[in-house]
């Protein structure tokens, strides 16, 4: 199957937003589940989509912006295709997760302020606990869990995902 | 009497008379209670904690959010409470940008006053908040987030009274900030510039943009002739800045102060109001004669006009085409002064003095300019004029009064009435009666219909004059009225809208006042000023007649009048720059298709057009020849769905006709009768 063209993808996403709104009967009280589902579609919350959601629900765009910035789950910046979540809970921290974070930041040229690579391939996030303490330090890339990851393995993983794109 | 419910406040029994919260009761008992976040007309927020009281048996709680109960015993100023308040102020000041001497709010800052009252000497805490850039782009209002105490007054006013919600809280914890959507400037969002956020702000976090420097500069420039006009409501409140009782004589002093400052001619905006009465009544009667039975909305309030442009573009044809009185006086006087002084219009500088911050925005409207020269160059608020008088070293209290200059200085009682809510309606109704019945109305009493407490109505049934009018102030109230009119539940011939509750007299450009009852004093002063005006009706104003003969084609609604004192409106996007690019071509001159997906077009099926168009683009492989964009309102909501293909705007359109038009513009097919 050929990959969908960017146009088709954008349009598909947009009609998805309309579906999400309809599914929740365009109720302002459902704003949080609506934003969650929109973020699923776009991987983040684009400004123009937030404005569209706000007008559709009859809430001011400023309020929707307030809601979207309140919860750290929501992102107003585009996220990478691969989201690397490094667990920094107690067990993982003790087993050296901060070293992993440093490795990733160095490899991808990221920092405390820049979480996403300019080519929108990777986003680095830290999470407090994945509930996989037995695998510490644990890393999740999109939906795939990697246990007892070493710095060396981390570098290899990044290279592996990069290679997928070439 | 003995059985009456009461609360003991600081040892004194205070009877309960329906007060909603302890704070109101405490203030009634004559005790001053500091607050930042409490305004009786807004919802209770309980954030600033300054109104804390000690309730016996219950401990310390905020009085604004506590309903009074019979038998309560409370104390308001115990050592513990005073210490807590002082700590609260110290914490607020720790993060506050304390450049008080150069702050616009320096004379009316609640934070500064409280810090002094509570004896704050030093701030024991470190600054923890990051600096946030001020927002200086709006023509009306400036925001300094570093001065914000997060009381939320502005947020609630904008939401609860105006129903706009241009600003809100964003982020969390220490990063919380009051901001327009997406951290944009107020200039680029749906702010209507009413300025009430600045009026309720207890500090200098939102202030009115000052234009005094530009006016001083113009006054010093000898090549310019600088003229002024002063709005009705200004005379009723300027005295407050000089500790003078509100009185009818303030106007004379203002006129002479303006002359001292160097204005060559001083005019009265009430002249423009007189003209508005004649033009607007005529416009209404003409609409009626043409069989137009829709409601006509007034156009004097620029905040309302922007609101309509953003939220109700379908109503724009129903908004009176009359310029606001400010625009009329600007338009006519610039022409006339330029003629008599033999100067170009660019060298005549018109400065308006207004109770209003939205007038600053109005002056920037493209529609209010002629050949690129604005009709109004600068707008000063009442506050700014007060400051200029002080800066100019004029002893306002002692200055001898002077009269305004002719021809735009003479006005009628009716024109002056524009300064308060219902003034426009009354003037129009009375003029209609005089011209159709040859006699005035006996009375004009706006009443509240208990079913619709949001607005007032007047029903006139007097011989030839049958008029149903609604008078609304505050845009949330107006929104309810519009909804009911659109649903057909109510109908009115004329609707008067003022964005600020009570009308211009309570505009955000007026001197800051935290006292209640000030509005009534101003209203009375304005009424009194009307009573000593020798001309009562606009049509009796001899200079109005003269201007009609000289400049306005001799009669109301003439082509000259349409050229000089009528205007037009444009639908506006709520948030600037929001289009979604769905397909973009790489070619240099592609055909651009914009599909409106604003709420109203969306309901009428713009989504189907959009998805149909995309599959068509895929199907026909037009990707390189077409830019497809979804725009967010609001081009023409009443006639949606709206699609523009290249230069062509298509309303009430369908996928089929859009495809046809695209094909014709791409030169694929040439449908009969359509030229590409």
Same domain, B539 and B583: no
- Reported as a pLDDT band with limits 50, 70 and 90, residue B464 is confident
Q: How far apart are CA B672 and CA B444, in angstroms?
A: 59
Report pLDDT for A84: 93
Chain A residues within 8 A of B611 when measuring between CB atoms: 11, 15
Chain B residues within 8 A of A64 when measuring between CB atoms: 181
Same domain, B372 and B424: yes
| B675 noted as active-site residue | no
pLDDT > 70? residue B584:
no
Chain B residues within 8 A of A52 when measuring between CB atoms: 580, 597, 632
Distance from CA of B500 to the nearest CA of A (A): 20
Same domain, B63 and B93: no
Question: How do residues B39-62 score in pLDDT, each as one tens digit?
Answer: 888 899 999 999 999 999 999 999
Catalytic residue among B211, B240, B279, B280: B280
Find the mean pLDDT for residues B423-448: 91
Q: Which of A49, A61, A76 sits opposite B574 (nearest CB)?
A: A61
With contact defined as beta carbons under 8 Å apart, do B193 and B358 qualify?
Answer: yes
Q: Which of B168, B172, B614 sits opposite A65 (nearest CB)?
A: B168
Residue B100 within any structural domain of the chain: yes
Chain A residues within 8 A of B167 when measuring between CB atoms: 62
pLDDT > 60? residue B314:
yes
Last residue of a domain, one of B55, B77, B99: B77
Q: How far apart are CA B393 and CA B395, in angstroms?
A: 6
**Can you list the pairs that B77-84 forms with residues at least 24 positions away whose Cβ atoms lie under 8 Å?**
B77/B10, B77/B31, B78/B54, B80/B54, B81/B52, B81/B53, B81/B54, B82/B118, B84/B49, B84/B52, B84/B60
CATH of residue B635's domain is 3.40.30.10
- Reported as a pLDDT band with limits 50, 70 and 90, residue B656 is confident
Preferred mutation among A22, A49, A62, A66 to probe B, highest tally of B CBs within 10 A: A62
Nearest C-alpha in A relative to B624: A7
CATH of residue B55's domain is 3.10.20.740
Chain A residues within 8 A of B180 when measuring between CB atoms: 62
Same domain, B439 and B298: yes
CA B79 to chain centre: 43
Find the mean pLDDT for residues B444-463: 92
Distance from CA of A153 to the nearest CA of B (A): 36
C-alpha closest to that of B120 among B100, B143, B150 = B100
Q: Which of B159, B165, B582 sits opposite A11 (nearest CB)?
A: B582
Q: Which of A47, A48, A62 sits opposite B168 (nearest CB)?
A: A62
> From chain A, which residues contact B within 8 Å (Cβ)?
5, 7-8, 10-11, 14-15, 18, 46-52, 54-56, 59-66, 69-72, 76
Chain B residues within 8 A of A15 when measuring between CB atoms: 607, 611
Residue B82 within any structural domain of the chain: no
Beta strands B141-143; B206-208: pairing state: antiparallel
Last residue of a domain, one of B208, B241, B259: B208
Residue B524 within any structural domain of the chain: yes
Chain A residues within 8 A of B614 when measuring between CB atoms: 7-8, 11
Catalytic residue among B97, B211, B279, B283: B283
Report pLDDT for A2: 46
Determine whether the interchain pair A7/B598 forms a contact, defined as Cβ–Cβ distance below 8 Å.
Answer: no
Same domain, B549 and B447: yes
Find the mean pLDDT for residues B166-177: 94
pLDDT > 70? residue B1:
no
Distance from CA of A164 to the nearest CA of B (A): 26
Q: pLDDT averaged over chain B?
A: 89
| B661 noted as active-site residue | no
CA B143 to chain centre: 17
Catalytic residue among B133, B367, B520, B563: B367
| B649 noted as active-site residue | no
CATH of residue B489's domain is 3.40.950.10
Dihedral of CA atoms A47, A53, A54, A59 in degrees, nearest 10, equals -150
pLDDT > 60? residue B131:
yes
Chain A residues within 8 A of B582 when measuring between CB atoms: 7, 10-11, 14
Residue B489 within any structural domain of the chain: yes
Same domain, B135 and B266: no
| Secondary structure (3-state) at A94 | helix
Report pLDDT for B248: 65
pLDDT > 80? residue B84:
yes
C-alpha closest to that of B254 among B274, B271, B272, B231 = B231
Question: How do residues B259-313 score in pLDDT, each as one tens digit?
Answer: 999 999 999 999 999 999 999 999 999 999 999 888 999 999 999 999 999 888 8
Q: Please tell me whether the peptide bond between B509 and the residue prior to it is cis, using omega within 30 degrees of 0.
A: no
Determine whether the interchain pair B575/A10 forms a contact, defined as Cβ–Cβ distance below 8 Å.
Answer: no
Same domain, B145 and B265: no
Q: Which of A61-70, B490-499, B576-585 has the lowest mean pLDDT?
A: B576-585
pLDDT > 50? residue A134:
yes
Residue B102 within any structural domain of the chain: yes
Distance from CA of A10 to the nearest CA of B (A): 6
Q: How far apart are CA B29 and CA B74, in angstroms?
A: 12
Tell me the torsion sign for CA atoms B361, B363, B366, B372. negative
| B100 noted as active-site residue | no
Residue B418 DSSP label: G
| B362 noted as active-site residue | yes
pLDDT > 70? residue B671:
no
Determine whether the interchain pair B170/A65 forms a contact, defined as Cβ–Cβ distance below 8 Å.
Answer: yes
Q: How far apart are CA B619 and CA B71, in angstroms?
A: 79
Question: How do residues A22-52 score in pLDDT, each as one tens digit?
Answer: 899 989 999 999 999 999 888 889 888 898 8
Last residue of a domain, one of B193, B208, B223: B208
pLDDT > 80? residue B437:
yes
- Reported as a pLDDT band with limits 50, 70 and 90, residue B566 is very high
β strands within B210-368, DSSP E = 225-230, 265-268, 296-297, 348-354
pLDDT > 80? residue B149:
yes
Same domain, B252 and B273: yes
| B194 noted as active-site residue | no
Determine whether the interchain pair A62/B607 forms a contact, defined as Cβ–Cβ distance below 8 Å.
Answer: no
Q: pLDDT averaged over chain A?
A: 88
Same domain, B70 and B93: no
- Reported as a pLDDT band with limits 50, 70 and 90, residue B637 is low
Task: Tell me the CA end-to-end span of chain A in Å, nearest whole number.
Answer: 18
Nearest C-alpha in B relative to A48: B578
Report pLDDT for B602: 65
Tokens, residue B254:
């203002």
Residues 140-179 of B with CB under 8 A from A: 159, 164-172, 179
Same domain, B101 and B72: no
| B320 noted as active-site residue | yes
Dihedral of CA atoms B117, B121, B127, B133 in degrees, nearest 10, equals 60
Report pLDDT for A152: 93
Catalytic residue among B300, B356, B500, B633: B300
Determine whether the interchain pair B189/A69 forms a contact, defined as Cβ–Cβ distance below 8 Å.
Answer: no
Preferred mutation among B185, B580, B617 to probe A, highest tally of A CBs within 10 A: B580
Per DSSP, the residues of B463-519 read TTEEEEEEEEESHHHHHHHHHHHHHTS---SEEEEESSTT-GGG-TTSPP---TTHH
Total domains in the fold of chain B: 4
Domains of chain A: 6-70 (1.10.10), 82-165 (3.40.30.10)
Q: How far apart are CA B580 and CA A7, in angstroms?
A: 11
This model of the complex carries an ipTM of 0.85
Find the mean pLDDT for residues B610-629: 77
- Reported as a pLDDT band with limits 50, 70 and 90, residue B598 is low
Determine whether the interchain pair B168/A63 forms a contact, defined as Cβ–Cβ distance below 8 Å.
Answer: yes
Q: Which of A52-56, B92-96, B490-494, B582-586 has the lowest mean pLDDT?
A: B582-586
Find the mean pLDDT for residues B6-32: 93
Question: How do residues B482-530 score in pLDDT, each as one tens digit?
Answer: 999 999 999 999 999 999 999 999 999 999 877 777 888 898 889 888 8
Report pLDDT for B581: 61
pLDDT > 50? residue B675:
no
Find the mean pLDDT for residues B629-658: 72
Same domain, B585 and B551: no
- Reported as a pLDDT band with limits 50, 70 and 90, residue B631 is confident
Q: What are phi and psi of A65, to 5 degrees?
A: -60, -40
pLDDT > 60? residue B635:
no
Distance from CA of B167 to the nearest CA of A (A): 6
Report pLDDT for A1: 40
Distance from CA of B548 to the nearest CA of A (A): 45
Residue B436 within any structural domain of the chain: yes
- Reported as a pLDDT band with limits 50, 70 and 90, residue B532 is confident
pLDDT > 70? residue A7:
no
The fraction of chain B above a pLDDT of 70, given in percent, is 94
Residue B428 within any structural domain of the chain: yes
pLDDT > 70? residue B650:
yes
Determine whether the interchain pair A62/B189 forms a contact, defined as Cβ–Cβ distance below 8 Å.
Answer: yes
Domain carrying residue B14 = 6-77
Chain A residues within 8 A of B617 when measuring between CB atoms: 7
B125 touches chain A (CB under 8 A): no
Q: Which of B500-514, B589-603, B608-622 has the lowest mean pLDDT?
A: B589-603
Q: How far apart are CA B179 and CA B412, in angstroms?
A: 43
Catalytic residue among B112, B359, B573, B629: B359
| B51 noted as active-site residue | no
Same domain, B437 and B315: yes
The fraction of chain B above a pLDDT of 90, given in percent, is 67
Residues 306-365 of B with CB under 8 A from A: none
Chain A residues within 8 A of B632 when measuring between CB atoms: 48, 51-52, 55
Determine whether the interchain pair A60/B580 forms a contact, defined as Cβ–Cβ distance below 8 Å.
Answer: no
Report pLDDT for B2: 57
Residue B224 within any structural domain of the chain: no
Q: Please tell me whether the peptide bond between A46 and the residue prior to it is cis, using omega within 30 degrees of 0.
A: no
Instruction: Return the number of CB contacts < 8 Å for A and B.
Output: 97
């Amino acid at each position: 199957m050929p990959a969908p063209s960017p146009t088709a993808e954008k349009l598909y996403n947009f009609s998805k937003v309309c579906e999400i709104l309809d599914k929740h009967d365009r109720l302002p009280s459902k704003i949080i589940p609506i934003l969650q589902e929109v973020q699923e579609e776009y991987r983040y919350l684009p400004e123009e989509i937030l404005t569209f959601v706000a007008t559709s629900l009859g809430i001011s765009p400023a309020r929707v912006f307030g809601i979207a910035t309140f919860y750290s789950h929501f992102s107003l910046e585009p996220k990478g295709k691969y989201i690397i979540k490094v667990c920094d809970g107690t067990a993982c921290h003790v087993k050296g997760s901060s070293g992993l974070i440093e490795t990733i930041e160095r490899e991808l040229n990221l920092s405390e302020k820049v979480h996403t690579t300019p080519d929108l391939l990777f986003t680095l996030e830290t999470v407090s606990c994945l509930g996989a303490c037995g695998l510490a330090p644990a890393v999740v890339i999109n939906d795939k869990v990697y246990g007892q990851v070493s710095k060396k393995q981390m570098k290899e993983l990044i290279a592996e995902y990069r290679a997928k794109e070439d | 009497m003995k059985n009456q419910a009461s609360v003991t406040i600081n040892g004194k029994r205070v009877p309960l008379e329906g007060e909603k919260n302890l704070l109101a009761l405490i203030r009634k008992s004559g005790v001053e209670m500091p607050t930042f976040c409490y305004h009786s007309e807004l919802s209770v927020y309980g954030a600033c904690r300054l109104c804390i009281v000690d309730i016996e048996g219950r401990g310390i709680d905020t009085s604004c959010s506590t309903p009074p109960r019979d038998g309560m015993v409370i104390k308001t100023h115990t050592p513990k409470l005073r210490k807590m308040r002082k700590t609260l102020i110290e914490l607020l000041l720790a993060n506050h940008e304390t450049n008080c001497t150069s702050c616009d709010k320096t004379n009316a800052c609640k934070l500064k006053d409280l810090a002094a009252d509570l004896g704050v000497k030093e701030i024991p805490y470190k600054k923890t908040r990051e600096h946030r850039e001020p927002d200086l782009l709006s023509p009306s209002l400036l925001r300094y987030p570093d001065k914000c105490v997060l009381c939320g007054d502005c947020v609630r006013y904008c939401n609860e009274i105006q129903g706009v919600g241009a600003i809100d809280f964003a982020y969390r914890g220490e990063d919380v900030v009051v901001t327009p959507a997406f951290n944009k400037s107020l200039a680029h969002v749906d702010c209507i510039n009413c300025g009430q956020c600045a009026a309720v702000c207890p500090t200098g976090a939102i202030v009115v943009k000052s234009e005094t420097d530009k006016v001083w500069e113009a006054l010093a420039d000898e090549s310019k002739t600088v003229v002024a006009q002063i709005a009705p409501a200004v005379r009723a409140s300027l005295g407050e800045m000089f500790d003078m009782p509100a009185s009818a004589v303030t106007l004379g002093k203002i006129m002479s102060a303006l002359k001292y400052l160097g204005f060559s001619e001083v005019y009265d905006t009430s002249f423009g109001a007189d003209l508005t009465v004649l033009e607007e009544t005529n416009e209404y009667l003409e609409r009626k004669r043409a069989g137009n039975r829709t409601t006509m909305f007034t156009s004097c309030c620029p905040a309302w006009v922007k609101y309509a442009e953003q939220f109700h573009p379908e109503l724009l044809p129903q908004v009176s085409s009359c310029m606001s009185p400010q625009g009329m006086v600007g338009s006519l006087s610039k022409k006339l002064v330029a003629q008599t002084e033999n100067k170009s219009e660019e060298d005549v500088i018109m400065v308006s003095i207004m109770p209003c911050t939205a007038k600053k925005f109005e002056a920037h409207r493209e529609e209010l300019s002629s050949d690129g020269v604005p009709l109004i160059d600068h707008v000063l608020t009442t506050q700014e004029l007060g400051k200029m008088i002080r800066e100019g070293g004029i002893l306002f209290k002692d200055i001898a009064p002077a009269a305004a200059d002719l021809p735009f200085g003479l006005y009628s009682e009716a024109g002056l009435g524009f300064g308060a809510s219902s003034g426009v309606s009354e003037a129009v109704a009375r003029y209609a009666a005089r011209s159709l019945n040859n006699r005035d109305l006996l009375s004009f009493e706006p009443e509240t219909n208990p079913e619709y407490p949001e607005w007032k109505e007047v029903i006139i049934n007097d011989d030839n004059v049958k008029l149903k009018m609604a008078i609304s102030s505050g845009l949330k109230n107006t929104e309810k009225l519009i909804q009911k009119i659109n649903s057909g539940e109510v109908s009115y011939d004329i609707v008067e809208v003022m964005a600020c509750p009570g009308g211009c007299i309570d505009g955000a450009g007026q001197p800051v006042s935290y006292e209640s009852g000030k509005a009534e004093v101003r209203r009375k002063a304005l009424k009194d000023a009307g009573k000593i005006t020798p001309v009562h009706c606009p049509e009796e104003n001899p200079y109005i007649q003269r201007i009609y003969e000289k400049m306005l084609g001799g009669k109301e609604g003439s082509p000259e009048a349409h050229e000089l004192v009528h205007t037009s409106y444009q639908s506006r996007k709520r948030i600037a720059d929001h289009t979604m690019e769905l397909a973009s071509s790489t070619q240099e001159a592609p055909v651009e298709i914009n599909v409106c997906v604003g709420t109203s077009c969306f309901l009428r099926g713009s989504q189907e057009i959009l998805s149909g168009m995309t599959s068509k683009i895929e199907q026909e492989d037009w990707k390189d020849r077409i830019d497809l964009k979804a725009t967010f309102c609001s081009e023409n909501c009443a006639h949606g769905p709206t699609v523009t293909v290249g230069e062509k705007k298509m309303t009430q359109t369908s996928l089929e006709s859009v495809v046809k038009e695209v094909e014709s513009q791409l030169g694929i097919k040439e449908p009969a009768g359509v030229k590409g």
